[in-house]
Amino acid sequence: MLKHAGICPLSSQACEDLLIEAGLPRGVFQNIYASGSQMEPFIADKRIQGVSLTGSEGAGSAVAKTAGEHYKKSLLELGGNDPFLVLDAENLEWVLDRYVDIRMFATGQACNAPKRLIVQPEFYDRTVAYLEKAIGALTVGAYDDPDADVGPLSSIGARDEIVDRLATAAREGTATIRVGGKKIDRDGAYMEPALLTDVDPSADVGCNEIFGPVAIVYKANGVDEAVRIANEESEYGLSSSVWSSDVDKAHEVAARLKDGMTFVNEHAVTAAGLPFGGVGRSGYGRELAQWGVGEFVNEKLIRVSGQRSAGLSPT
């Protein structure tokens, strides 16, 4: 049974139609056209054995509470505030191009997108200057616009929330908007891709996920400081990445990051044979392959004694 997000009933129905077309009997897969507030009795129903949620922290907390009250397994795939650590300036422009591409993919609406770029002081100014130019040059347009680099957000409300949060941060002095960040005056949920620096890690835009086309750059004085920023200045723990020409050093740093998934010289890699999931405010449990199946099966032990029956000698 699938309860889709309220803004995508047509794509949810398309999933069911495709499964039926592929031969799945009707009724095996079912869409539930209900609001989030109506889901508690569905989860509580004794016929439901487990629940998996991809969504907001608020929804995750509500689902986990109901599942726990009824002794059912749950899996939560929530938000992320992924760090992207750059340890040296070797191939810096290439690395920054990868950051922009991955951060702006799907208009920044990916839970495992790299939100926080953390660099060293010796190439911080160079990084900011390069990103100002690169992000400022991105073209915003519709999905069928061949010249567009970034599309609209999922809804007008989602766009307005991000624009308001950025304006508040700039007004309160908890972030500097280097480029972009404003609503685009045209039909649709469009906004200018943005670059933030001087971000207060304890402020809203620092410690909470921005689910849109917004890049943030932090300056760290050394590797230890970079690891501290990555681990301690966010309660999320979905994924992270470390970029360096020294792979051994990058691997060592990667092992120190407190996330469900960490990558070296790549980011946001998903594949059917890799487990997917996080820790902390990013949720719990793992999806895909044997890990995903294992979340919703019970391991049963059957032990057979060597004795034929009570009181008889073993054979």
Write down the catalytic residue from 77, 192, 209, 233: 77
pLDDT score for 107: 97
The pLDDT tens digits for 22-60 are 999 998 999 989 888 888 999 999 999 999 999 989 899
Helices (H), the chain: 9-21, 40-44, 57-69, 92-104, 124-136, 156-172, 204-207, 223-232, 247-254, 289-294
Res 308 pLDDT > 80: no
> Which pLDDT band, with edges at 50, 70 and 90, does 315 fall under?
low
CA separation for the pair 82, 283 (Å, rounded): 14
Res 313 pLDDT > 70: no
Tokens representing 15?
A: 């999933």
Q: HSE-up of 111 (CA within 13 Å, CB side)?
A: 23
Q: What share of the chain is helix, strand, coil (3-state, %, to 5)?
A: 35, 20, 45
**Mean pLDDT of the chain, nearest integer:** 94
pLDDT score for 49: 92
The pLDDT tens digits for 85-110 are 999 999 999 999 999 999 999 999 99
Query: Average pLDDT for residues 78-91, to the nearest whole number?
Result: 97
Q: What ranges do the domains of the chain cover?
A: 9-78+273-294, 82-264
pLDDT score for 37: 84
> Which pLDDT band, with edges at 50, 70 and 90, does 310 fall under?
low
pLDDT score for 35: 86
pLDDT score for 6: 86
Contacts 24+ apart (CB under 8 A), 121-130: 121/219, 121/220, 121/221, 122/89, 123/86, 123/89, 123/92, 124/217, 124/219, 126/89, 126/92, 127/86, 127/92, 127/96, 127/217, 128/178, 128/195, 128/197, 128/217, 130/92, 130/93, 130/96
Largest CA distance in the chain: 87
The DSSP symbol for 270 reads -
The pLDDT tens digits for 145-177 are 999 999 999 999 999 999 999 999 999 999 999
Q: Report the SS3 class of residue 284.
A: strand
The pLDDT tens digits for 245-303 are 999 999 999 999 999 999 999 999 999 899 999 999 999 999 999 999 999 998 899 99
CA separation for the pair 79, 283 (Å, rounded): 8
CA separation for the pair 25, 181 (Å, rounded): 48
CA-based angle 113:119:125, to the nearest 5?
115
> Which pLDDT band, with edges at 50, 70 and 90, does 138 fall under?
very high
pLDDT score for 311: 60
The DSSP symbol for 83 reads E
Residue 297 has φ and ψ, to the nearest 5°, of -130, 155
The 10 Å CB-count burial string (b at 16+, else e) for 7-25 is eeeeebeeebeeeeeeeee
DSSP 121-143: GGGHHHHHHHHHHHHHTPPB--T
Res 309 pLDDT > 80: no
Write down the catalytic residue from 21, 40, 57, 111: 111
Q: Are strands 283-284 and 73-77 parallel, antiparallel or unpaired?
A: antiparallel
Query: Average pLDDT for residues 130-149, to the nearest whole number?
Result: 96
Q: Mark whether 207 is an active-site residue.
A: no
The pLDDT tens digits for 112-122 are 999 999 999 99
Res 307 pLDDT > 80: no
CA-based angle 127:128:130, to the nearest 5?
65
Q: Domain spanning 82-264: which CATH class is it, in words?
A: alpha beta
Question: What pTM was computed for the model?
Answer: 0.92
Under 8 Å between Cβ of 156 and 189: yes
Give the residues across from 114 on adjacent strands. Answer: 82
Strand order in the sheet with 50-54: 50-54, 73-77, 283-284
The pLDDT tens digits for 182-209 are 999 999 999 999 999 999 999 999 999 9
Under 8 Å between Cβ of 117 and 216: yes
Q: Mark whether 232 is an active-site residue.
A: no
